[in-house]
Structure 1
């Protein structure tokens, strides 16, 4: 008879009370292993950060002075990939700068930059008013102005209305504090418009004097030299709540998280998990008083105060308890000091009175349970129980051995595809980007992960440039068209050498676009041969043994070109295949800037379209293959994000080959899927046409 879970936990609770110090160290080691598998090993976290950093560096170097700079902040930028975490972006006008005193204006060309002066004289610590010194070229900033004491200030509340409304209306976003929030597939995004200062806030200089043991001097200098940001939210108890701005240290905090060792980082991750799975579990958003930012602040203070002499796997739970006790103390006192400006009490307007007392009672009860309260966390419960039932088994804490080579490679290539640049593109921007990458690629400072990310970005920009060059030089000048065509073919073949297997599909698309059907079919056959290999890796599907045997110990560049398959990204401003133009236009009108297509679906589509002109029997065979693939592999090989466009493409192919009844069914299936690409209008238009061509179809 199996014991109930409640009874098991009661028995474990009594066991945990009498554990020896050695046993607790073994539990810490086991939890360390579990967190590595849940949060990431040191290699995985370093790889994620490197790829995010190089993507951000490339993007921000190719933008013009009148565009918006962007920074990935929050947990995603710090290296976490926890399920349910949102992705936070900060963006600011590249031609605006905030200064702290008028003498700093000498470092700027006021003819090109708009200057803003901080006025902290009447604001709580950590907040400021922003005095607009020179006119702004942006209307949304002009409309946010208010006049106080014969000065022109930028009101944070008006700024939220003017800047966020321009973004939230077309993209169906919702206001969330100083941000707007939206979803893209299963991911949630927060966009925070802000301003930037190249100078460190005077009120935070005391922080630099506290940095005796952590972080190291070069990290402190880097943080101070990179200044801070200002987000549009005032202090709820301030005199000018509607007009004040909060000083944001997001970039500094990201650098501090980077400066943590892996055990410290996992302690921060454990606090985030406990917050989500235990403390805030079952509470409404209004009742969730503690947030991840409070957890991060506690870790910062504990590390800097050198409370824990050794941050190591055997002492992970010891570090966790010190951080948890600090949070408990803060809740009891009603004071959570900002790490950079301690005078800024982050509990002041949120955790007080009855709510503060209730939260303290809740945390005290958890603290009183000791280690046993961690059993309520689904993420780490099994790792505690494992030690109790296997007290003599050794635990390996070398995180380099926790995941296989194939698993780690899969994470690398997922990150490269996830961090592809999907911004506004034109030929001049692509050329600037390629020049930027050319200058970067030889740098000895690049990590091996950043090199593979640059390789992927290069392939993307070569493909984009090739198709745009063909479109923009398509004239009656045969000599010019011939040169452009030669250049486009060269760039697409070069991109295929840099990219993954399915990047060859861009060559096939270009040949189809330029009516070279036999050449396109030759490329398609080459891709089929490569895709038929048993070691090929696509998303979450890979035979690890075959993969390791075939390309193990090869460079990641070689692995990507020989063994990796990725979804095809079709930027909607560029017409790759004429049959997909209605879908691209519809998606673009609904603010989807690209179509994400399963590579096998696109391969069969191109095969069908090409064979229509050279061999109708083979076109029908390819259509049968596409129909079998779409019908049989929904939920297995075809990710739910690409199902709407997969059914749509099947319907298009059935329609062009004359099978209208089957096309109608496919279009209807497309409408039933998650509308990731927002192509419903195009689908309904195609359904209407099919019914017009054959009124007998239901």
Structure 2
């Protein structure tokens, strides 16, 4: 067994600081975590206030808390807007029962933290209707049926895992949980309010209580009504508690997650699934609130980890892990018991006997402990001392996904979105929130310009003057979008010129875009030469960096016609409830160049097709991500079909069908292939 080099154990402060620095590099600095949280927060706020879906959506879990650890999944919660759970009948007076479906929580026969849900008024929500069962002349919503029917509601072919539909999409693991919401704090969690003397502070506590809780569709495994019971979920409260942590506390939570994955869960098969990340989070919550460590800071970072580890060891010994909000809910009851509990305790006790040196068994942390004497720190370390480079922070912001769900509702939706943007601009925002707002605004402006054009073209009796005004407005919005957006957003302007038959103007923008995309400092899909980027764009404003140095895949909303050549693919995806097409920027660029030159110069059109063909056939992931090869082969096939090279087109379509179906275009591909074969027979 490895041990610390001589003198390390005694120098606990230096060890703590070294591990703290290591965790900043693995988990993130204060600034990186702030970027992740603030951008997701404002995006969800925008979507919640502008989309007209029948349900609300919220990201939760590690992703929402600010983690981006390898292997972490993305958790999403959905609940119907017009359904509310109440804790007692007196709370019904706060709702208009004509447009709100009320559900009563009845926990009288359930274990702590669980409840039955009794339907009080008719529901039009399909999944509630499917899950109804009759008991003693009352209708209850059975959790097992609800989970079964909602499992694949968001992503087809998901696998039921607890209350969630789980699976992989584009190589990333996801968990989606359809649930129900309650605006009131559950009485069974009232003791938590009384415990919050020192942490979290009163403002956070008030915020948490006022936002109520959720109910997720899973019963207690040892309960009498397992298939009917629902678990009370405090996901939103937990997120707010994590936000209330200082950075040392947050990184302690991160260290426990890493230690669980790399050390605790690597012991034996019998014990490697007994503990989970949620137990680690609960341990940190209790350790902070019980004030076991008076000062959580880089200098005693390892001490914070050790406090939590000892608490976890105690819980395993006793077989009791009290839920942070409802302590009577023992989260070890069904799993950590019997011989498995005993084996787990002995394994943890062996780690405990080694003291904090047990951290050496984590390959992610070990290096920072061993190397700590080789790089002495001449300054006092604080939570904000450890920083990342400007380009690393920029990449954090660039790589944050943004959504265009507000385009789902047509012009009314985007009008509402622009109004909300105006309201946000007038409120105090951080630089990261402003940056995300710019990304969302560019997306909304692009969609609006095409919606406006399509509306006037579709209405046959639109006067020439109206079409002219609409065109001027669309062009102006696309110009604004380029100011807010990035280099690749120029392609929307090119698409618009192509759509309105201005091929030469489109080609001039294609040349400009090619020049911008050829710059050596360009960030393309999160990859960049950091030295060149810093040399050219270091210190510049975020808008300048976006306009000059950032390119990303092109997102086309499936309810908007951008160019007619992709209508079949958009229709195919819409049939599978898929929001949009995602196309590699260089594939889209060559596609548009081919289409424009088709009306201007046949030889140059063939040259553009040749460039596209070389790219699709030979790219090794530099310009086309593996998950986007379906649409890339499809577009190549479309171009070849337009050029009447049916054999090559058929091969490209066949290749498209063998790729990961991210864009859900298989129906369009099959129809194109069938139409080609019919044409060959009759023509």
TM-score (norm 1): 0.91
1:98 paired to 2:88: no
Q: 2:217 aligns with which of 207, 232, 235?
A: 232
Contact 1:52 1:419 in 2 (8 A): no
1:19 paired to 2:5: no
Show CA shifts across 1:179-207 (max 9, x none): 11132201121111111111111121111
Q: Separation in 1 of the partners of 2:280 and 2:627?
A: 33
Relative to structure 1, the CA distance from residue 292 to residue 525 in structure 2 (aligned partners, 3 Å threshold; closer, same or farther) is: same
Tell me how far 1:361 sits from its aligned partner: 1.7
Q: 1:151 aligns with which of 107, 131, 138?
A: 138
Contact 2:80 2:125 in 1 (8 A): no
Partner of 1:246: 231
Contact 2:130 2:149 in 1 (8 A): yes
Q: Separation in 2 of the partners of 1:286 and 1:84?
A: 20
Partner of 2:414: 430
After the TM superposition, which residues 8-407 of structure 1 pair with which residues of structure 2 at under 5 Å, given as runs? 10=1, 12-13=2-3, 15=5, 19-22=8-11, 24-64=12-52, 67-164=54-151, 167=153, 171-281=156-266, 288-387=273-372, 390=374, 392=376, 397=381, 402-407=387-392
Contact 2:51 2:406 in 1 (8 A): no
SS at match of 1:110: coil
Show CA shifts across 1:504-533 (max 9, x none): 111111111222211211221221222233
Tell me how far 1:648 sits from its aligned partner: 2.6
Q: 1:569 aligns with which of 540, 555, 559?
A: 555
Tell me how far 1:584 sits from its aligned partner: 2.6
Relative to structure 1, the CA distance from residue 38 to residue 285 in structure 2 (aligned partners, 3 Å threshold; closer, same or farther) is: farther
Tell me how far 1:157 sits from its aligned partner: 2.2
Partner of 1:7: none
SS at match of 2:354: helix
SS at match of 1:152: strand
Q: What value does the CA root-mean-square deviation take over the aligned residues? A: 2.5
Contact 2:402 2:436 in 1 (8 A): no
Contact 2:249 2:296 in 1 (8 A): yes
Contact 1:634 1:643 in 2 (8 A): no
1:506 paired to 2:492: yes
SS at match of 1:468: helix
Contact 1:29 1:395 in 2 (8 A): no
Show CA shifts across 1:280-315 (max 9, x none): 238669950111110000000000111112211121
1:641 paired to 2:641: no
After the TM superposition, which residues 486-525 of structure 1 pair with which residues of structure 2 at under 5 Å, given as runs? 486-525=472-511
Q: 2:579 aligns with which of 593, 597, 616?
A: 593
Q: Separation in 1 of the partners of 2:380 and 2:547?
A: 34
Q: Separation in 1 of the partners of 2:211 and 2:4?
A: 51
Relative to structure 1, the CA distance from residue 130 to residue 423 in structure 2 (aligned partners, 3 Å threshold; closer, same or farther) is: farther
Contact 2:14 2:372 in 1 (8 A): yes
Contact 2:4 2:370 in 1 (8 A): no
Contact 2:5 2:370 in 1 (8 A): no
1:670 paired to 2:659: no
Relative to structure 1, the CA distance from residue 565 to residue 284 in structure 2 (aligned partners, 3 Å threshold; closer, same or farther) is: farther
SS at match of 1:575: coil
Identify unmatched segments of 5+ residues in structure 2: none
Contact 1:179 1:190 in 2 (8 A): yes
Tell me how far 1:650 sits from its aligned partner: 2.6
Which segment drifts farther, 580-589 or 446-455?
A: 580-589
Show CA shifts across 1:671-690 (max 9, x none): 44433324344445545666
Tell me how far 1:70 sits from its aligned partner: 1.2
Q: Separation in 1 of the partners of 2:566 and 2:396?
A: 31
Show CA shifts across 1:515-552 (max 9, x none): 22112112212212222333222123323233223222
Partner of 1:461: 444
Q: 1:476 aligns with which of 428, 451, 460?
A: 460
Relative to structure 1, the CA distance from residue 336 to residue 690 in structure 2 (aligned partners, 3 Å threshold; closer, same or farther) is: same
Show CA shifts across 1:568-621 (max 9, x none): 001223232222233333333344332211112211110111011111122122
Partner of 1:4: none
Tell me how far 1:660 sits from its aligned partner: 4.4
Contact 1:26 1:395 in 2 (8 A): no
Contact 1:51 1:419 in 2 (8 A): no
Q: Separation in 2 of the partners of 1:129 and 1:449?
A: 42
Relative to structure 1, the CA distance from residue 41 to residue 421 in structure 2 (aligned partners, 3 Å threshold; closer, same or farther) is: farther
Relative to structure 1, the CA distance from residue 268 to residue 422 in structure 2 (aligned partners, 3 Å threshold; closer, same or farther) is: farther
Contact 1:421 1:457 in 2 (8 A): no
Contact 1:500 1:564 in 2 (8 A): yes
Q: Separation in 2 of the partners of 1:400 and 1:610?
A: 53
Q: Separation in 2 of the partners of 1:243 and 1:96?
A: 18
Tell me how far 1:55 sits from its aligned partner: 1.1
Count of matched residue positions in the alignment of Structure 1 and Structure 2: 677
Q: Separation in 2 of the partners of 1:502 and 1:102?
A: 55
Contact 1:33 1:397 in 2 (8 A): no
Partner of 1:3: none
Q: Separation in 1 of the partners of 2:57 and 2:249?
A: 28
TM-score (norm 2): 0.93
Contact 1:92 1:193 in 2 (8 A): yes
Partner of 1:6: none
